[in-house]
Structure 1
Amino acid sequence: MLAIIKLKFFFEKYGFQVSSRLADKLGMRVTNVRLFFIYISFVTVGLGFGVYLTLAFWIRLKDLIRSKRTSVFDL
């Protein structure tokens, strides 16, 4: 149980103050740095979804332009 408390203390001391340390080094407010991280996370999720939709549209468009022939007599 003591090891878990030490691990929690370690993460609270060194892990959770990333945005405040970064804000101090850059000379910014902490809230602006946190908002930047939130916006970037939404952009990365949206970017992946946008690429997926673009590729799906591209494949669908390719199938519409190039018709599939089932036999030789469809010429």
Structure 2
Amino acid sequence: MQDRMYQIRSYFERHGFYVSSRFADKLGMRAKNVRLFFIYLSFATFGIGFAIYLTLAFLLKFKDMIYAKRTSVFDL
């Protein structure tokens, strides 16, 4: 049972745009606590927290597309 939960969790971590991890790094917190905050917020506000999460994921993905990290001058 725990192995199955780990597989589900790792799937969502790999394909979830790393929103929680990126905000946790920015805030100096653990990603688990940020995820729990979004879960509790979504239950408390009937889905508005999930909408915020998806909006932030879209904005972070959009920002990554615009500001590509180049390792060299020759990557232009």
Q: TM-score, normalised by structure 2?
A: 0.40
The structure where helix makes up a greater share of residues is: 1
Q: TM-score, normalised by structure 1?
A: 0.40
